[in-house]
Amino acid sequence: MLVPFEVYVHVPFCARRCGYCDFNTYVAGPERHAAFVAHAIAEMELAAAELEGTPRASAQSVFFGGGTPTILPVEGLVELLEAVRRTFGVAPGGEVSAEANPDSVDAAYLEGLAAAGFTRVSFGMQSAVPWVLAALDRSHDPARLPDLVADARGAGLDVSVDLIYGTPGETLTDWEASVRAALDLGVDHVSAYALSLEEHTPMARRIRQGLLAPVDADEQAAKYVLADELFSSAGLGWYEISNWARPGHESMHNLGYWTGAEWWGIGPGAHSSLGARRFWNVKSPVAYADRLTGGASPVAGEETLDDAAVSLERIMLRSRTSQGLDLDDLSVEGRRTVPGLIADGLAQQRTGTANAKFVDGIVLTQRGRLLADLVTRTLAGW
Ligand SMILES: C[S@@+](CC[C@H](N)C(=O)[O-])C[C@H]1O[C@@H](n2cnc3c(N)ncnc32)[C@H](O)[C@@H]1O
Ligand code: SF4
C-alpha cells in the first residue's frame, strides 16, 4: 500500500509581524507576493520532475500555511492550488486548508476559496479579549469573527480557530472567555497553543526588560485543563495535544504529520519528509526567489535518518495523538517503562477493538499531555 502523501505550501508574508511570532514570515509589497506565486509553482514543477517514476499516492491533503496565505489575492491561492493538482495531484475528497488572519478575508474571498476546491479555513483568532489581543500585537477586530465564521460555513468550508493561552497578564477568567467565545462560534475544530516565548521576538525582549510579566508554568497548565474540559464537554474531543475536533472534523493534514505520512513542503524554509529522507529549503524568500529564477532547486540541506532516529521520531509524534502508541513501536527498555507511567497517571492502556481485554498500546492521560516531553523521553529511553 502507498504511504499517504501531503503537500504544504508556506506563504512567507504577513501584513505586519506579531510580537510573539518567530515564524519565517516577512512584510513585503504586492509585487513580491505575485513573484512568490510564480516561484512556488516553479518549485512544484521541479519537485514533480524529481518524483516522476516513483510510486506515490496523490496528495490526501494540501495545507497553505504561513505567514498569512490569505494576504495573497484569492486568485493567487487558486493558481497555487491548481499547480498542486497539476504537479502532485490531489486525491478525490482531499482536504485543502488555508490559514487566514481574520482581517485578511471577507465573504467574497471565502466563496472564491470554496469555489476553487478549498475545503477548510483556519482563522488566527488567538483570543476574544481586546487587551490580550493588543498585548499580542494582533491587528484584527475580534467582533468580526462570528460573521466571518458564518460566511465561511455559508460557503461550505469547515472552520477551525487558533487560540493562544498564557499571554503575559492574561487571567484564567480572560482565557475562559476566549474558550467560550470560540465555542460560541460553533466551530468544529480548535487549536489551542501555549504561548511559546521565542528568544529573538519583541515579546521575549519586553519580558527580559521587566516590561511584561513572565509566563507562569502552573498557570499555563491550569489553562490547558480548563480548555480541555470545556472543549470536551462541548463535544470537541482532543486528538492531538493542542488540537480538539468534533468527530470527523480532525485535520487530515495534521494527523498525517503525526502518523507517518510523507510530505513535500513548498516555499522558503519549508521542510519535506520522504521515507527516511528529510530536506529543507533556503529560509530567505530572496534566496528562494534567486534559486528558482535560475532554475535551481531551493533545497538548502538534507539528512537521512537512521533506524534509531526514525523510531524516536515515531514515538515523539504518535504519542501526541489520541490514537496513541503501539507497544510494538517501543524498544524492550521502552516497554518496561510503561507500567510506571500508568501507575503515575501519565499514560493509560489502549485496548484493541477486536478484544477489549487485549492491550495493544498506550495513550497519554490529560496529566501525561501536560508532561508530554517527560513521557516521551521516558518511553524513548533517554
Ligand atoms: C501561521 S499562523 C496563522 C495564520 C495567521 N498568520 C494568523 O496569525 O492569523 C499559525 C498560528 O501559530 C500560532 N503561533 C504563532 N506563534 C506562536 C507562539 N510564539 N506561541 C504559540 N503559538 C504561536 C498562532 O496561534 C497562529 O494562529
Ligand atoms: S502569528 Fe500569524 S499574522 Fe502574526 S506574524 Fe505570525 S504568521 Fe504573521
Residue 107 alpha carbon to ligand 2 centre in Å? 21
pLDDT above 60 (res 277): yes
Average pLDDT estimate for 244-264: 96
Residue 131: predicted pLDDT: 95
- As a whole number of angstroms, the distance between CA 128 and CA 205 comes to 25
Residue 143: predicted pLDDT: 94
Using the Cα atoms of residue 247, residue 250, residue 256 and residue 257 in order, give the sign of their dihedral: negative
Q: Render pLDDT for 191-241 as a digit per residue (tens, 0 to 9).
A: 999 999 999 999 999 999 999 988 888 999 999 999 999 999 999 999 999
Regarding the beta carbon of 193 and ligand 1, being less than 6 Å apart is answered yes
pLDDT above 60 (res 354): no
Q: Render pLDDT for 358-373 as a digit per residue (tens, 0 to 9).
A: 668 999 999 999 999 9
Residue 352: predicted pLDDT: 61
Ligand 1 atom 27: residue of nearest CA: 124
Regarding the beta carbon of 166 and ligand 1, being less than 6 Å apart is answered no
196 C-beta neighbours (distance < 10 Å), count: 13
Residue 19 alpha carbon to ligand 2 centre in Å? 9
Q: Render pLDDT for 112-134 as a digit per residue (tens, 0 to 9).
A: 999 999 999 999 999 999 999 99
- As a whole number of angstroms, the distance between CA 294 and CA 290 comes to 6
The letter for the amino acid at 120 is R
Higher local confidence (pLDDT), 349 or 266: 266
Average pLDDT estimate for 332-349: 93
Q: Three cell numbers at 263? A: 510530505
Regarding the beta carbon of 101 and ligand 2, being less than 6 Å apart is answered yes
Residues 6+ apart with CB under 8 A from 120: 95, 96, 97, 98, 157, 158, 159, 160, 251
Contact status, residue 309 vs residue 329, Cβ threshold 8 Å: no
For the CA of 124, the closest atom of ligand 1 is: 9
pLDDT confidence tier of residue 170, bands split at 50, 70 and 90: very high
Q: What is the dihedral of CA 17, 149, 95, 125, to 10 degrees?
A: 30
Task: Find the helix packing angle between 30-51 and 74-87, rounded to 10°.
Answer: 10
Average pLDDT estimate for 153-161: 98
For the CA of 123, the closest atom of ligand 1 is: 9
pLDDT confidence tier of residue 320, bands split at 50, 70 and 90: very high
- For the chain, domains (ranges, CATH) are 5-258 (3.20.20.70), 312-380 (1.10.10.10)
Regarding the beta carbon of 122 and ligand 2, being less than 6 Å apart is answered no
DSSP states of 250-265 as a string?
S-HHHHHHHTT-EEEE
